[in-house]
Structure 1
């Protein structure tokens, strides 16, 4: 996992909370939570255009961090499955960006909630 790179990417997306993290497990947990927050915000009908753009940006950044943090050498099957899930989320964010009515962020949120619960139980 390239922790320093992931941390720098999140700093660029104006998330100061990550700058003080030193534990990679905690960083991934926070990234998962931030992605969940963005997905939930994007499902809100009252979100402004500015908020929508911010949450899309944060969502894409979080997915990128999560995908690039996977260690395929140590856990190929798990890493491969997580990559596919994160790719599905990325595709749904892409549909949201294009205002595609077939977007299903609710499914993404449900899957992500399960990953967050599992991540909490790992440590």
Structure 2
């Protein structure tokens, strides 16, 4: 019964995320990356190699989702810097996985937390992609 409830929760979560705004989707991705980094840290402490690898792999896949969503043509320096930062995070997580080291995971968690705080701080009027003072496409 509990397994069915968890599966239903995941289905509902995925369905609601597909309907969420792009801003809310990115927020959820940051949250999931952080959750997977916590899981990887716990797995390292328990010496659970399988769980560590799975959690780090999920975090890397989510970083890749963020990376491919960048518009390098329109995003300018910010998009370019994020592109390089996501690559850096991925490389550090690969090292953490291979060497079962906690320090790179902690470093990347700090970077992701900082990015998430900045993302969460975006004013509401910008979250729908419409810059205040510009004509809407309606």
**More deviation, 92-101/20-29:** 92-101
Aligned position for 1:6: none
> TM-score, structure 2 length as denominator?
0.69
Greater per-residue helix proportion: 2
Aligned position for 2:50: 50
Q: Tell me if the contact between 1:31 and 1:62 (Cα under 8 Å) persists in the aligned partners.
A: yes
In the alignment of these two chains, the number of paired residues is 109
Aligned position for 2:26: 28
Q: Tell me if the contact between 1:36 and 1:113 (Cα under 8 Å) persists in the aligned partners.
A: yes
* SS of alignment partner, residue 46 of structure 2: coil
Rounded to whole Å, the distance in 2 between the matches of 1:27 and 1:18 is 10
Are 2:109 and 1:109 equivalent residues in the alignment? yes
Q: State the 4+ residue runs in structure 1 displaced beyond 3 angstroms.
A: 100-103
Rounded to whole Å, the distance in 1 between the matches of 2:102 and 2:37 is 15
Are 2:14 and 1:18 equivalent residues in the alignment? yes
C-alpha RMSD of the superposition: 2.1
Structure 1 residue 105: Cα displacement = 1.6
Unmatched segments (≥5 aa) in structure 2: 1-9, 128-138
Rounded to whole Å, the distance in 1 between the matches of 2:111 and 2:74 is 23
Rounded to whole Å, the distance in 2 between the matches of 1:89 and 1:41 is 17
Larger Rg: 2
Greater relative contact order (CA < 8 Å, ≥ 6 in sequence): 1
Unmatched segments (≥5 aa) in structure 1: 1-14
Query: Could you report, residue by residue, the CA deviation over 1:5-46 in whole angstroms, capped at 9, with x for unpaired residues?
Result: xxxxxxxxxx64333222111111111111111122222312
